[in-house]
Amino acid sequence: FDWKTYRSPHFVVHYYPEEEVLLPKVVSLAESAYDELSRKLDFQIQETIPLIFYKTHSEFEQNNVILGFIPEGVGAFATPVRYRMVLPVDLPDREVYALIKHELTHIFQYHILFSGNISRSLATRPPLWLMEGMASYFAKDESTSDKMFLRDAVVNDIIPPITNSNIGGFFAYRFGHAAFEFMEDRWG
């Protein structure tokens, strides 16, 4: 496939020529998300961030950035080795912004935690609840049904201790998001 590339202050955006009409919106949302996260985290990423976007989720699922099948529940992803963001943009603008902010939070995490060291990024495994919870918290991407899922876990007394690093799957997002909300409520 034929790709085009566009450079903005913080991103190198890769897209198909047919999707050029979406480029201004995607770049604007990405730069806004970068500005917000860099202020909140008090951190600047020195390199430009590769951002690959697809017009539809179906096209996104056919990417070859990661090998293998992308499960249906995966809306986008960021890679800890080359610090790339890959996402579809066939959502309302508010949801695309949340998706970009979620994946960009991962890019900030990778730079802060791994400092560009590939072996450290492959060997170090921070708890999934921390990584996904922080990304969900900053993106404000929690829905009413997500909150219901967590409340159901509380009612059924299946909330694990915060020291448990094996919290995975969908629960890692919800548990982690709740942990960050608790920290904000408790300590600001």
Task: Give the list of residues 6+ apart from residue 165 with CB closer than 8 angstroms, or none.
Answer: 127, 128, 129
Cβ atoms < 10 Å from Cβ of 92: 8
Rounded mean pLDDT for each run of 10 residues along the chain, 188 residues in total: 92 95 97 98 96 84 68 75 90 95 95 81 84 95 91 91 86 92 93
Which residue type sits at 130? L
Which pLDDT score, from 0 to 100, does residue 97 have? 97
Q: In whole angstroms, give the CA distance from residue 108 to residue 105.
A: 5
Which residue type sits at 170? F
pTM reported for the whole predicted model: 0.90
DSSP designation for 70: P
